[in-house]
Amino acid sequence: MDPIEWVATPQQPDATSCGVLVVAQVHNYLTGNIDRQYYRVFKNDVKIMRLRLMWVIMHLSHERLISNEDLLRLGKSTRTVRQSSDAVY
């Protein structure tokens, strides 16, 4: 058997869409959508993938309230940043 085995998977159309394709492949694998794992990917496909990911993140995420402890730390760090920026200007 040849030690190198090529797997027929989508190839990215540019140098910047590898992350989107990885997430799309994982989604297809988890949902059992095998047909989507073997097709040619165009730049417009990547744009649609990004929009779908954004939709999923925005609509399926759950808001969590910040704890009082974290709120106090946030206030302290905000004051520190303001004091530092005031000292510079």
Look at the chain and report how many structural domains it folds into: 1
Tens-digit pLDDT profile for residues 34-68: 776 677 788 898 899 899 889 988 888 887 888 99
Please tell me the predicted confidence (pLDDT) of residue 15.
84
**CA pair distance 50, 20, nearest whole angstrom:** 7
pTM of the complete model: 0.52
CA atoms within 13 A on the CB side of 60: 6
Residues 6 or more apart whose Cβ sits within 8 Å of residue 9: 25, 37, 38
Give a yes or no: residue 78 inside a domain.
Answer: no
Q: Is the pLDDT of residue 88 over 70?
A: no
- Provide the residue range defining the domain that includes 60: 18-64
In a domain, residue 72? The reply is no
**Phi, psi at 37, each rounded to 5°:** -90, -5
Torsion angle in degrees (nearest 10) through CA of 78, 80, 83, 84: -110
